[in-house]
Amino acid sequence: MTGRVFEIREFTLHDGPGVRTTVFMKGCPLRCAWCHNPEGQSFDFETMHLAGGRTKVAGADFEPEALAKELATNADIMASSGGGITFSGGEPLTQADFVEATIAAFRKMVDRKVTVALETSGAVAPEVYRRLIPQFDFVYQDLKHHDADAFRKWTGGELSMVLENIAFLKTSGVEFALRVPMIPGVNDSAADFAEYERIAAGAKLERLPYNPLAGAKYPQLGRKYQLPV
């Protein structure tokens, strides 16, 4: 079995507590207009055209043990800082079997206390979500919109599936936070937040500020960023 990754970033600080390594999995069922990792959307290898005529291929295949070994490189620093590894993307749960096998290999390799986190859109089949969620120490679950039509318009996905998964997450016993990526004029009004509070129903709710550099990678892929920057 192999899985496809487009970046492994060490010493990340915003994807969970302590020192972490974040692995960005390739492939996502959504097409969020504000996506700042467009090379994570397609599962296919893609060539990115960088400054100075340089190119880079987005995508690398790993076997679970090989990825786990790579992620375990900083295990000492992770353990001493209360950190660990985070699966991000793209949507990590589109490669659920691979992620599951990598977590198992990682836990076998690293016997110190390090945490395994997930960043997910929740736009995956509930049976997959329910199988994978209990394997994480904590989950950052996106809450991109509260209105089904707006969710479809801006992400291409179905809100009902995400809400079903959030309902499961609340009962799972796994520590989690709901995260709203604040997109000006799209999902960030006071009325919108009243809806997010209603959905969260007391659960932890975080606001992620809009990234003004979100559109930077689109020209590298020969694509156009859809939002005004």
- Cβ proximity to ligand SF4: between 29 and 64 the closer is 29
Length of the chain: 229
89 binds ligand SF4 (CB under 6 A): yes
What is the CA angle 44-57-37, rounded to 5? 70
31 binds ligand SF4 (CB under 6 A): yes
* Selected binder of ligand SF4 within 91, 143, 154, 159 (CB under 6 A): 91
- Cβ proximity to ligand SF4: between 84 and 157 the closer is 157
Closest approach of ligand SF4 to the CB of residue 31, in Å: 5
35 binds ligand SF4 (CB under 6 A): yes
- Cβ proximity to ligand SF4: between 21 and 88 the closer is 88
Closest approach of ligand SF4 to the CB of residue 24, in Å: 9
**Encoded tokens for 34:** 């504000």
CB neighbours (10 Å) of residue 53? 6
- Helix or strand run (H / E) with residue 100: helix 96-109
- Contact indicator for 1, 65 with CB cutoff of 8 Å: no
90 binds ligand SF4 (CB under 6 A): yes
Q: Give the x-and-dash track for 138-177 against ligand SF4 (CB under 6 A).
A: ----------------------------------------
Nearest residue to 178 (alpha-carbon basis) of 208, 148, 214, 136: 208
223 binds ligand SF4 (CB under 6 A): no
- Cβ proximity to ligand SF4: between 68 and 143 the closer is 143
**165 vs 132: CA distance, rounded Å:** 11
Closest approach of ligand SF4 to the CB of residue 159, in Å: 13
What is the CA angle 35-97-63, rounded to 5? 90
- Segment 37-56, which members bind ligand SF4 (CB under 6 A)? 37, 40-41
Q: Which stretch binds ligand SF4 (CB under 6 A): 7-15, 34-42, 75-83, 197-205?
A: 34-42
**Encoded tokens for 38:** 């467009």
Q: Dmax of the chain from CA atoms?
A: 51
- Contact indicator for 24, 34 with CB cutoff of 8 Å: no
Residue 154 sits at φ, ψ, to 5 deg, of -90, -20
Number of residues that bind ligand SF4 (CB under 6 A): 12
Task: Kindly state the DSSP code that residue 5 receives in the 8-state scheme.
Answer: E
**192 vs 170: CA distance, rounded Å:** 21
* Selected binder of ligand SF4 within 86, 94, 115, 121 (CB under 6 A): 121
User: Where on the chain is the footprint of ligand SF4 (CB under 6 A)?
Assistant: 28, 30-32, 35, 37, 40-41, 89-91, 121
